[in-house]
Amino acid sequence: MSNNIMEFRHVSQQFGNNVVLRDIDFEIEAGKFYTLLGPSGSGKTTILRLIAGFDQPTSGEIYFDGQQINDVPANRRQVNTVFQDYALFPHMNVAENVAFGLQIKGVKKAETDRRVKEALHLVQLDGYGPREITAMSGGQRQRVAIARAIVNRPKLLLLDEALSALDHKLRVEMQTELRQLQRQLGITFIFVTHDQEEALAMSDQIMIINDGTIQQSGTPVDIYDEPLNHFVADFIGESNIVPGVMKADYLVTIDGQDFECVDAGMRPNERVEVVIRPEDLDITTADQGKLTVTVDTQLFRGVDYQITAHDQRDHEWKINSIHQTTVGAQVGLAFDPEDIHVMRYNESEEDFDARLDSYEEDD
Amino acid sequence: MRQKVIFTVPYALWILLFVIAPLVLIFYQSFFNIDGQVTLGNYATYLTSGVYLKMTLNSVWYAFLITLVTLVISYPTAYVLNHLPNRQFWLLLVILPTWINLLLKTYAFIGLFSRTGTVNQFLQFVGLGSHQLLFTDASFMFVAAYIEIPFMVLPIFNSLAEINPSLINASKDLGASQWQTFTKVVWPLSLPGVKAGIQAVFIPSLSLFMITRLIGGNRVITLGTAIEEHFLTTQNWGMGSTIGVILILAMFIVMFVTGEGRQKGGTALMKKHRFTWGGLYLALVFVILYAPILYLMIFSFSAGKTMEKYHGFSFQHYTDLFADSRMITIVINTLIVALLASLIATIIGTMGALVIKDSRGTWRNSLLSLNNVLMVSPDVIIGASFLIFFTVLGIRLGFVSVLLSHIAFCIPIVVLMVLPKLNELSPTLVDAAYDLGASRWQTLSRVILPAIAPGIFAGYFMALTYSLDDFAVTFFVTGNGFSTLSVEIYSRARQGINLEINALSTLMFIVSLLLVVGYYFISKHSGRRNRIVAVKEGDAQ
Ligand SMILES: Nc1ncnc2c1ncn2[C@@H]1O[C@H](COP(=O)(O)OP(=O)(O)O)[C@@H](O)[C@H]1O
Ligand SMILES: [Mg+2]
């Protein structure tokens, strides 16, 4: 409880008959960088709007610093938002935009000026204060929006698809800067995106949301290495997902062929799904591989080749390899037991965590 | 919540008192005969005596012809305009004449068309002889079409400008000829503008009475003249209201047939074409649009007493005008009414726009429809129904009734100018203000109002011009003691040519021009304000 700045308890949101959020529960620890990741329409913005106070939940409680804040209006919450479309006031220049929140609070002119300058410095916009918003580029507007929010020293900063409107190069640059800024200021960030690479690159913690429910939360590495279910495995990174049967602890069968793995805690002979990441598959000769496949396509992507192949049972395999192969060739696929991740059908996040704890303690 | 109530009350009162009540009253009044007894007799008379039916048919026929003529002239005009470089400027030139008081333009034709007037002099000169032009159907229709052309050009121009140029290229790419492209792509896509134009021209044409009286004489009788006569001459309000109800029905039919007209500015790419024939045509349209105005101005400097022959340069009529204390008083009255009415209408209208913006679904649609009732109603109906309304309430006709009427018909104009700006405002902008700690009032005063200021300003300005220009409504609700410029010009024009009016119209034209220039300057300037400040601060650093 001590370090939690924000908490949702059984929060649901409904617009008319349309249930947008179902029983959302989470806790946000102070000082960390959180990312809400999910496909568009999954309810991410709705969650942010509840946190900011633009909407009230249909049911459930929202806590901020230990206080229930369901009925506290947006203008009295210590939360600031960086909007997806920036929402910069078009009739004010950069400095006036950044100063807005301070002026509303009645902060003295001298102090306002100083803090505006400081905030613009933090987002590397020194000297841009007198510029019109229309004279700023997309990336610069983005920074103004961030400066306008952080100048108020909120306890929690919400960023809704903050980088989505930028082109790729600028976006990657801003990712690093945002992360640095968050460390420097020590403000808790909740960042919303539908871009999984962005989420993996920036976050301390990721919450994956789909269809109004949180699917899995954890560190980027946890989520990437140990996805809870088909949706998460598919949404985060590329993956080969094939059905299998868990014969015993640490032994899984795919299409009648046994493989050693590092998963345990399931019922004997339970039907499961097996995930192997394309970059964990190595191409060798047909006789050395654990699986034999025929290469169908090969695309050069700069860093590596993206290869698709099929096995005897017509399962398709995606392979990322730095070595070239030949379309039509029969090759072997090699991988280690750690490269296999086994998922149970319909396992809840608590059960999943408990199971992992149980056998990882054994080790 | 309190804010919402404060905004809703004045606007709701306006809807109740000046939109719903007058309509109900005119309907109610139509069931009374001249002696104040309840009766269906008015409707019976209307349906059985051939006079009224014939008059209705006549009106519809005239309105149809006027609309047709206007459309035939306006469509090519809009089309050619749309292909010109600097087309917004040329469009402005087409619209500019609407800023000249309606009465003055009509008055110009009295001079042009008179027995010994300029047109007849020209006809005689080319050997066609002199003809009776004034007080004929043809002259009536010509003047009506002249007045309405800009109102038809504007919506058509806008819908043409909205057409994506790639569509035209696509059509040509797919093998369509210029003509096929026009009939199969351009024309169907510009239909919304055509419909909006028809709506804007047909309904007022049904109920014209000022032009009818001044140019058509007593030969042309329309629904408009009939209503005016029953209300203001024979005092048979019941019969007048009955005709009014018929006119309202006709209006709804037209609106139903032509659908909801859209009016929106476009930003399609400019094309640089040279249309020699098109250019010639356009030049002709401009000559027709501006000739009467120039004609008035030229004769204002004539030493003579008529608009037939120029008698040498003189400021005589200007001296007369400034010595005419009655006229000066009326000018001041007109200005006071216009400034006050548009100010109050701007305040209430802005509140109304905020209320509409916050409303949803059918409620919003009803509010919008109610808002637009006074925009689409013929002036005679507004005038007549307000007259009944003021009489019922016991409000003496004069300054107060004129002011109230002007406020009433200006409010929807302001709403229509402000609402698009509000809709353009990103909803997250308001959220952002709350997010940064602003209260509802602070959000309104610091974010919403400044952001929609251009709309509010334009609304005030439009209201001002509508008020300055209004004749018909004022004519009904002004008593004997009080007069505005339009009403005064009307009564003077009915007595014949008076070059003092020419002097006045020259001055008014210059004022209108200055207003337009001022409007453009201020609307540009308001956007540039911060930039100027920015440059100064930048220099200081
Ligand atoms: N005010 C609203 N009224 C009705 N439905 C809404 C409203 N806001 C969001 N929704 C619906 O809720 C769902 C989730 O929306 P949102 O939270 O914006 O998704 P995301 O931000 O993840 O793309 C969508 O299906 C959307 O249509
Ligand atoms: Mg969203």
A38 and A158 part of one domain: yes
The reply to whether B34 falls in a domain is no
| Sign of the dihedral defined by the CA atoms of residues B267, B273, B277, B280, in that order | positive
Contact A276, A337 (CB under 8 A): no
Q: Is the CB of A142 under 6 A from ligand 1?
A: no
Total domains in the fold of chain A: 3
A219 and A322 part of one domain: no
SS (H, E, C) B317-356: HHHHHHHCHHHHHHHHHHHHHHHHHHHHHHHHHHHHHHHH
Is A104 close to B428, i.e. CB distance below 8 A? no
CA distance B141 to B147: 10
Contact B186, B160 (CB under 8 A): yes
Determine the distance separating the centroid of ligand 1 and the alpha carbon of B344, expressed in angstroms: 40
Question: What pLDDT, on a 0 to 100 scale, did the predictor assign at position A67?
Answer: 92
Single pTM value for the model? 0.80
Of the two residues B255 and A352, the one the predictor is more confident about is A352
Q: Is B106 helix (H, G, I), strand (E, B) or coil?
A: helix
Determine the distance separating the centroid of ligand 1 and the alpha carbon of B396, expressed in angstroms: 56
The reply to whether B33 falls in a domain is no
Q: Which ligand is nearest to the CA of A20?
A: 1
A172 and A96 part of one domain: yes
Total domains in the fold of chain B: 1
A169 and A203 part of one domain: yes
Pairing type for strands A67-68 and A59-64 reads: antiparallel
With a cut of 70, list the residues of chain B below it in pLDDT: 1, 259-276, 519-541
Determine the distance separating the centroid of ligand 2 and the alpha carbon of A38, expressed in angstroms: 10
The reply to whether B32 falls in a domain is no
The reply to whether A210 falls in a domain is yes
The reply to whether A213 falls in a domain is yes
A249 and A330 part of one domain: no
| Sign of the dihedral defined by the CA atoms of residues B32, B37, B41, B46, in that order | negative
Give Cα A220 to chain centroid, integer Å.
8
Tens of pLDDT, residues A251-301: 999 988 899 999 998 998 999 999 999 999 999 998 888 889 999 999 998
Using CB atoms within 10 Å of the CB of residue B486, give its burial: 0 to 12 exposed, 13 to 18 middle, 19+ buried: buried
Question: What pLDDT, on a 0 to 100 scale, did the predictor assign at position B539?
Answer: 29
CA distance A228 to A244: 16
Tens of pLDDT, residues B8-40: 999 999 999 999 999 999 999 999 988 888 888
Question: What pLDDT, on a 0 to 100 scale, did the predictor assign at position B527?
Answer: 46
A207 and A346 part of one domain: no
Q: Please give the C-alpha separations between residue A261 and each of A43, A224, A264, A284, A361, in angstroms, as whole numbers.
A: 36, 17, 9, 20, 17
Q: Which ligand is nearest to the CA of A84?
A: 2
Question: What pLDDT, on a 0 to 100 scale, did the predictor assign at position B534?
Answer: 27
DSSP B135-158: TSHHHHHHHHHHHHHHHHHHHHHH
Which residue matches tokens 């003055």?
Answer: B104
Tens of pLDDT, residues A13-48: 999 899 999 999 999 999 999 999 999 999 999 999
Question: What pLDDT, on a 0 to 100 scale, did the predictor assign at position B153?
Answer: 92
Contact A246, A254 (CB under 8 A): no
Q: Is the pLDDT of residue A152 over 90?
A: yes
A141 and A14 part of one domain: yes
Question: What pLDDT, on a 0 to 100 scale, did the predictor assign at position B91?
Answer: 84
The reply to whether B156 falls in a domain is yes
Instruction: Tell me the residues of chain B between 422 and 461 that have a Cβ less than 8 Å away from chain A.
Output: 426, 428-429, 431-439, 442, 446-447, 450-451, 453
Question: What pLDDT, on a 0 to 100 scale, did the predictor assign at position B311?
Answer: 81
Phi, psi of A206 (to 5 degrees): -115, 140
CB neighbourhood size of B28 (10 A) = 14
Supply the CATH number for residue B476's domain.
Answer: 1.10.3720.10
Question: What pLDDT, on a 0 to 100 scale, did the predictor assign at position B528?
Answer: 37
Residue A164: give the domain boundaries: 4-225
Question: What pLDDT, on a 0 to 100 scale, did the predictor assign at position B473?
Answer: 93
The reply to whether A232 falls in a domain is no
Shortest alpha-carbon distance between residue A21 and chain B (Å) = 21
Residue B314: give the domain boundaries: 2-26+39-540
The reply to whether A342 falls in a domain is yes
* Shortest-distance atom of ligand 1 to CA A39: 22
A71 and A216 part of one domain: yes
The reply to whether A91 touches chain B by the CB within 8 Å rule is yes
CB neighbourhood size of A53 (10 A) = 23
Q: Please give the C-alpha separations between residue A355 and each of A249, A268, A348, in angstroms, as whole numbers.
A: 12, 15, 11
Q: Is the CB of A43 under 6 A from ligand 1?
A: yes
A312 and A330 part of one domain: yes
Supply the CATH number for residue A162's domain.
Answer: 3.40.50.300
Q: Is the CB of A54 under 6 A from ligand 1?
A: no
The reply to whether A84 touches chain B by the CB within 8 Å rule is yes
Contacts with A148 from chain B: Cβ below 8 Å: 436
